[in-house]
């Protein structure tokens, strides 16, 4: 599966959880993660997506290290399985995450 298709699965899954997976482009800062995932009542997560065989470039490694040094949550997800695991962690229940699950302030705060 291509990275673009993996990115769509992430964006659709996050949307079904009531959040947004904004595409991140930062002029003058090449190598930033692909998406900023924002879910209700949770801190944002920066997500770099790769195919199962994909590898981070040196520039991506530098950008990820800079964000982590600032205390940010940065995830590198390889392939659909890792995206599904991330969505499950976010409250989506694994493969059933697309079933219209809604997240409330009370349930979200319990996972923080």
Domain coordinates of the chain in residue numbers? Answer: 3-110
Q: How far apart are CA 39 and CA 46, in angstroms?
A: 12
Is 3.30.70.370 the CATH classification of the domain at 3-110? Answer: no
Nearest to 74, CA basis, from 85, 87, 61, 84: 61
Pairing of strands 73-78, 35-38: unpaired
Cβ within 8 Å of residue 95, ≥6 positions away: 84
**pTM of the predicted model as reported, rounded to 2 decimal places:** 0.80
Q: pLDDT tens-digit profile of 41-56?
A: 999 999 999 999 999 9
Q: Is the pLDDT of residue 98 over 50?
A: no
Helical packing angle, 3-16 and 79-87, nearest 10°: 10
């Amino acid at each position: 599966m291509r990275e673009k298709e993996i990115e769509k699965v992430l964006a659709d899954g996050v949307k079904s959880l009531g959040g947004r997976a904004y595409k991140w482009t930062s002029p003058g800062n090449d190598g930033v993660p692909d998406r900023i995932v924002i879910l209700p009542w949770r801190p944002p997560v920066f997500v770099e997506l790769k195919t199962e065989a994909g590898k981070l470039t040196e520039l991506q490694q530098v950008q990820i290290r800079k964000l982590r040094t600032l205390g940010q949550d940065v995830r590198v997800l390889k392939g659909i399985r890792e995206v599904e695991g991330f969505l499950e962690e976010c409250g989506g229940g694994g493969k059933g995450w697309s079933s219209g699950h809604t997240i409330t302030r009370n349930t979200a705060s319990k996972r923080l």
